[in-house]
Structure 1
Amino acid sequence: MPRPSEPTRERIIQAASALFYNEGIRRVSVDEVAAKAGLTKRTLYYHFRSKDDLVAAYLAARDQPNLAVFRKWFDETEGGVPVKIEAIFRNLARSARHPKWKGCGFLRTSAELANMPGHPAIRIGAAHKKKFEDWLRATFAAEGIADPLQLARQILLLLDGSFAVVLLHRDASYMETAGEAARSLIEMALVGRRGRRC
């Protein structure tokens, strides 16, 4: 239960985050979120006009923390860029082995809202994935890789594909395999870079 001293909006977002991630956005009612936050539904609607706004706030609250964790894993890993990117997958695999792991909140939400492409949460999820792609592109460009955008998209596809397959099979080794593939792609791109300099 959130502490009463926390700002009300943050209490609501924390409650929604726990419920939406664990149960899915369609299965969780506004009443349940209000109850978990220790508030009335009227108070919740004072801060959020609709459940759609609350879902968008839930994803927006995950955006920067998720990106920061990826960068932290990257920065803390010894070695070159291929090993550092593989470490992101390895750390995600470790997370996926936790019994409460439910996959990527952005992808799960987009699947639940697939018939609502204009939903604000879809836009937030797309922007989140684009930020990760842009960070990868900038990282690869700094290494002198010829087509950093193409490589960034390949890595992003491996990442999101591994989220889906691990969730389906409940086998985190698929994420580790995807990380090995990502490392190989980056190593090949770096070899190509050296070849162009000869």
Structure 2
Amino acid sequence: MAKGELSTRERIVEAAGKLFYGEGIRAVSLDAVAEKAGVTKRTFYYHFRSKDDLVAAYLEARDQPNLALFQRWFAVAEGDLPARVEGIFQNLARSARHPKWKGCGFLRTSVELVNLPGHPAMVAGRAHKKRVESWLSEMLEPEVGTGAAEPLAQQLILLMDGAFSVQLLHRDAAYIEVAGQAAANLVRAAITAAEGRL
């Protein structure tokens, strides 16, 4: 396979990802995915047992790229730890201003599958959110301490996911920026508390 050429499975996942993100998973039929990927339904079923498996594969394919994006935004942000955490939110707000932005695909999928907690896509979504949370905890730990890093990372995830939800309601990225300011304040307070324990 030539470099840059997608396998059939990757083409199906990429096509599904565009459709699922744009229209929602329940609104998209397997026929539409097969057509966009340029495959037959028989070929689809050769690579996936069901639409459920495809939805999980769509989220799994977004896991590492999304985490890597957060890591890059954190790494390139200038300033201290609170400013770098806020930088993630500032970049999310910039993304949310793009006309094609429709929120967090993991959260949107979880809403569509809320009554199916064991669905493979729900498992993939939970795993992604936990990976982001664990990474944040690792970034926070050197300055806030071991005991404080994990609950602080959970608070940051709540701010982030809450900001995603409110942004979708109001279509105003300022909510994500405000969440970023709150995140920076939480980190700053945790650093001050850690310094007080020394």
TM-score band w.r.t. shorter chain: over 0.9
- Relative distance call for 1:138 and 1:41 in structure 2 (3 A) is same
Q: TM-score, normalised by structure 1?
A: 0.96
Q: Does 1:72 align with 2:72?
A: yes
1:149 CA drift (Å): 1.0
Moved runs in structure 1, 4+ residues, more than 6 A? none
User: Can you list the C-alpha shifts for 1:50-80, whole angstroms capped at 9, x where unaligned?
Assistant: 0000000000000000000000000011111
Any unmatched runs of 5+ in structure 1? none
- d(CA) in 2 for partners of 1:74, 1:90: 10
How many residues are aligned here? Answer: 194
Instruction: Read off the aligned partner of 1:136 and give its amino acid letter.
Output: L
Q: State the match for 2:189 in structure 1.
A: 188
The Cα shift of 1:135 comes to 0.8
Say whether the 8 Å CA contact 2:74–2:84 is kept in structure 1: yes
Q: Distance in 1 between matches of 2:73 and 2:144?
A: 22
Q: Quote the residue 2:17 is aligned against.
A: 17
Distance 1:41 1:151, change over 3 A: same
Amino acid corresponding to residue 190 of structure 1 in structure 2? I
Residues 67-146 of structure 1 correspond to what in structure 2 (within 5 A)?
Answer: 67-145=67-145, 146=147
Q: Percent identity?
A: 62
- Deviations 1:27-62 (Å, cap 9, x if unpaired)? 000000000001111111110010000000000000
Aligned twin of 2:32: 32
- Specify the code of the residue in structure 2 equivalent to 1:193: A
State the alpha-carbon separation in 2 of the partners of residues 153 and 81 from structure 1: 16
Q: Over aligned residues, Cα RMSD in angstroms?
A: 1.1
Distance in structure 1 (CA, Å) of the matches to 2:185 and 2:152: 11
**Distance in 1 between the 2:144 and 2:162 partners?**
26
Tell me how far 1:144 sits from its aligned partner.
Answer: 3.7
- Residues 99-149 of structure 1 deviation map (CA, whole Å, 9 limit, x = unaligned): 100000000000000011110000000010001111111111121434111
Instruction: Provide the secondary structure at the position in 2 that maps to 1:134.
Output: helix
**Counterpart in 2 of 1:173?**
174
Provide the secondary structure at the position in 1 that maps to 2:169. Answer: helix
Which secondary structure does the structure 1 equivalent of 2:67 belong to?
A: helix
Corresponding residue of 1:162: 163
TM-score, L = length of structure 2: 0.96
**Whole-angstrom distance in 2 between the partners of 1:93 and 1:115:** 30
C-alpha separation between the residues in 1 aligned to 2:96 and 2:139? 25
Mapped partners of 2:73, 2:5: distance in 1: 32
Residues 77 and 87 of structure 2 are in contact (CA less than 8 Å); yes or no, is this contact kept in structure 1?
Answer: yes
CA distance in 2, matches of 1:147, 1:92: 25
The amino acid across from 1:80 in the alignment is D
Structure 1 counterpart of 2:167, one-letter code: V
| In 2, Cα distance between equivalents of 1:189 and 1:117 | 33
CA contact (8 A) 2:166 2:175 kept: yes
- Inter-partner Cα distance in structure 2 for 1:68 and 1:79: 20
Offset of residue 5 of structure 1: 4.6
CA contact (8 A) 2:12 2:33 kept: yes
